[in-house]
Structure 1
Amino acid sequence: MKQSLAILALALATALPAVAEEYRLGLITPPSHQWTKTAETIAEDVAAATDGRVELLVMPSGQLGNEARMLQQLQTGAIDFAMLTAAEFANRDPDFGIFYAPYIVEDIEGAGRLLSGDVAHTLLGRMSDFGLHGLAWGTAGMRQVVTRDEAETVEDLSGLRIRTVPLAPEMDFWREAGAVATPMPLPALYDAFANGQVDAMQIDHEGTWNSGYWRHASTILDSRHMMFPMAAVASGRKWQVLTEEDRATVAQIFDERIAEMVDLYAEIDETNLENLRDTGLPVLSVGRDWFGLAVDAWYEDWREKAPLLADLEAEAAR
């Protein structure tokens, strides 16, 4: 009798569908940003591919805290997935700052190649040092500069408070260029730029257009001086909760959708650049030489700080 009941219970358990598990995915970007849109697509794909066993709840706009806070929660397993800038990793390990090397690539296509290359793969594996599982590298648009006052030469940036993320390689670059690097949370940037708390910002054309920063600008520098890497990661603790089959499925979907997002940014950059030109604002195309000695000084400093930079430079040259 007991054996019959055990067999019946096992049969019923096998017949019942797996219980769906909800996992939170945090970002600092607003719903209109392509990172958030891609996260929503990933969530839809994961739910469909796992027959609803894995449901990702996308939480944009810093609902789960700033990136430092989200990293802490990922490490404890309090949240499950995130799409983060490389800032928090670079501030803990300089090798993660090498993707911010100025003019290491010319465009989004070059960024995509480096972010799927050997050095990127190495750094993704080293996410385990932070208690995370690395899923994919992505990027936003190429970095540009937006100023409240007119700026025609790098000397015009001297002493200006330029908003950055709290990221050592980025802040070092602007110090070399003579500006005052001013870290500030993204949600506070619009008001700070409008009322003059900051004089300029490093941003991309997507953010400049969608968030309306151009309304308070006098000059847009189409400099394309840096990529802006993003790491898609999972909590190491929560990753182990998934079955091996579901881990493979989730990893593949993140990899494919984020690669598509990187390719899309070439079009996003150009579309928003045309939108900005249509406003009548001065849009100046500038290159590496415009920044004078700042770029070379940055490389001299960071080759010592980050051993992997030399490998990334060699990969970019190839």
Structure 2
Amino acid sequence: MKLSKSIVAGAVGLSLALSAGAAVAKDFRLGLITPPPHVWTKAADAFGAELAEKSNGAHTVQVFPSRQLGNEAEMLQQLQTGALDMAFLTVAEVSNRVADLGAFYAPYLVNDMDGVAKILRSETATGLLDQLPQQIGVVGVGYGSAGLRQIASRDTVESVSDLSGKKIRITPFAPIQDFYNLLGTAPTPMPLPAVYDAMANGQVDAIDMDLELIWKLKYWEHSKTVVLSNHMMFPMVGLVSARVWAQLSEEDRALVRELMAKHVDSTIDTFVAQEPKFLEETRKTGVSIVEVGPEFFGDAIDQWNAAWEKKTDALAALRKEAGM
């Protein structure tokens, strides 16, 4: 159950009223949905290792990958109450509560991973994090990213009409759900661990996914076509519970902010460097790859933009950062 904004604001106010420097558990718990081999999980492990080193063992981080602590909505609620210390969450989940962050998912806001890096490191993107403590009871320290989104289909896809009415697995958040509704598909929310079997047994017809996971988690084994569209970025954000943050000393806050921001940001560079490799490995599987651009999606992109321009001014600001 979502916490009301008034409850969140009250909790944050109470937390921030506490004097910084109160005792906290030395072993922070950090949750995320990605499996151990994923870039995000490796970044979380590296953050924990460096925090332990730089704090001379005063602080450690126990990482819980693969939804061990629940789905992202559940982990966000745990952050709000202080039951969970830290998390690397998709910006998608946060955008369900802070609409401005949905602007990151504008179709073709960027064309490549270099564009993703430029947007996520911009002043506009950084400024959006300022809303989080009061609105949802968490402190955002920086952004990371996965690769650009593609579509892997069990069937042959030559035009967008081939996707009409098809069940497409999505991450459950409004921007991407709106996009696939506009395409006339049946967007189907589904947790990551269930995707492989769903593709195998036909529970879904296609998936919205990045190249890394299409290759590493072998979704290509049940795909006839990978639509290489690069249609949307997929950012991540490093979060600390506002209640936990309020109990840290200024020195510890600075250390946590510096190191977590460093390691979530490192995922951007990883995908900038590795996206060509992920594409090469996907090609090696023999799956049919159909390269498309914005024209493939018809007027759905303009319709999405028109709807979201009414929801947030952040879209115009991010477009300016992107040089559009």
Query: TM-score if structure 2 supplies the norm length?
Result: 0.90
- 1:40 maps to 45
Higher RCO structure (Cα 8 Å, ≥6 apart): 2
Q: Structure 2 vs 1, CA of residues 220 and 142 (structure 1 numbering), >3 Å: closer, same or farther? A: same
Amino acid in the other structure paired with 2:99: P
234-243 or 210-219: which moved more? 234-243
Kindly indicate whether the alpha-carbon contact (under 8 Å) linking 2:150 and 2:227 is maintained by their aligned counterparts in 1. yes
The percentage of aligned residue pairs carrying the same residue is 47
- 1:106 maps to 111
Q: Structure 1 residue 20: deviation in Å?
A: 7.2
188-197 or 303-312: which moved more? 303-312
Amino acid in the other structure paired with 1:283: I
Amino acid in the other structure paired with 1:39: A
Q: Is the aligned partner of 1:64 residue 2:69?
A: yes
CA displacement 1:117-170 (0-9 Å, x = unmatched) = 122112111111211111111110110110000001111111110000111110
Q: Structure 1 residue 249: deviation in Å?
A: 1.2
Kindly indicate whether the alpha-carbon contact (under 8 Å) linking 2:24 and 2:247 is maintained by their aligned counterparts in 1. no
Kindly indicate whether the alpha-carbon contact (under 8 Å) linking 1:20 and 1:55 is maintained by their aligned counterparts in 2. no
- 2:143 maps to 137
What secondary structure is seen at the aligned counterpart in 1 of 2:310?
helix
- Aligned residue pairs: how many? 301
Kindly indicate whether the alpha-carbon contact (under 8 Å) linking 1:20 and 1:53 is maintained by their aligned counterparts in 2. no
What secondary structure is seen at the aligned counterpart in 2 of 1:305?
coil
Give me the whole-angstrom Cα distance separating, in 1, the residues matched to 2:207 and 2:307. Answer: 23
Which of 296, 309, 318 aligns to 1:312? It is 318
Amino acid in the other structure paired with 2:311: K
Query: TM-score if structure 1 supplies the norm length?
Result: 0.92
Q: Structure 1 residue 301: deviation in Å?
A: 0.7
Q: Structure 1 residue 101: deviation in Å?
A: 0.6
CA displacement 1:52-100 (0-9 Å, x = unmatched) = 1111111100011000100110001001000001222211222111111
Alignment RMSD: 1.4
Kindly indicate whether the alpha-carbon contact (under 8 Å) linking 1:19 and 1:53 is maintained by their aligned counterparts in 2. no
What secondary structure is seen at the aligned counterpart in 2 of 1:79?
coil
Amino acid in the other structure paired with 2:194: A
Kindly indicate whether the alpha-carbon contact (under 8 Å) linking 1:144 and 1:224 is maintained by their aligned counterparts in 2. yes
Give me the whole-angstrom Cα distance separating, in 1, the residues matched to 2:93 and 2:43. Answer: 21
Superposition pairs of residues 220-231 of structure 1, within 5 angstroms: 220-231=226-237
Give me the whole-angstrom Cα distance separating, in 2, the residues matched to 1:19 and 1:171. Answer: 39
248-257 or 147-156: which moved more? 248-257
CA displacement 1:241-296 (0-9 Å, x = unmatched) = 22211111111112222222201102222111111111111111111111111111
Give me the whole-angstrom Cα distance separating, in 1, the residues matched to 2:278 and 2:126. Answer: 31
Give me the whole-angstrom Cα distance separating, in 1, the residues matched to 2:75 and 2:286. Answer: 39
Give me the whole-angstrom Cα distance separating, in 1, the residues matched to 2:124 and 2:161. Answer: 35
Q: Structure 1 residue 187: deviation in Å?
A: 1.0
Give me the whole-angstrom Cα distance separating, in 2, the residues matched to 1:122 and 1:266. Answer: 23
Which of 177, 194, 205 aligns to 1:188? It is 194
Give me the whole-angstrom Cα distance separating, in 1, the residues matched to 2:279 and 2:208. Answer: 15
- 1:257 maps to 263
Q: Which structure 1 residue ranges, 5 or more long, are not aligned?
A: 1-17
Q: Which structure 2 residue ranges, 5 or more long, are not aligned?
A: 1-22
- 2:296 maps to 290
Q: Structure 1 residue 19: deviation in Å?
A: 9.7
Give me the whole-angstrom Cα distance separating, in 1, the residues matched to 2:301 and 2:286. Answer: 30
100-109 or 84-93: which moved more? 84-93
Q: Structure 2 vs 1, CA of residues 21 and 294 (structure 1 numbering), >3 Å: closer, same or farther? A: same
Kindly indicate whether the alpha-carbon contact (under 8 Å) linking 2:24 and 2:244 is maintained by their aligned counterparts in 1. no
Kindly indicate whether the alpha-carbon contact (under 8 Å) linking 1:100 and 1:169 is maintained by their aligned counterparts in 2. yes
Amino acid in the other structure paired with 1:103: Y
What secondary structure is seen at the aligned counterpart in 2 of 1:310?
helix
- 1:234 maps to 240
Superposition pairs of residues 5-84 of structure 1, within 5 angstroms: 21-84=26-89
Kindly indicate whether the alpha-carbon contact (under 8 Å) linking 2:24 and 2:248 is maintained by their aligned counterparts in 1. no
Amino acid in the other structure paired with 1:224: N
Give me the whole-angstrom Cα distance separating, in 2, the residues matched to 1:52 and 1:32. Answer: 25
Amino acid in the other structure paired with 1:85: T
- 2:168 maps to 162
Amino acid in the other structure paired with 1:82: A
CA displacement 1:5-42 (0-9 Å, x = unmatched) = xxxxxxxxxxxxx9970010000000011000011001
Amino acid in the other structure paired with 1:153: S
Give me the whole-angstrom Cα distance separating, in 2, the residues matched to 1:256 and 1:138. Answer: 9
Which of 246, 251, 262 aligns to 1:245? It is 251
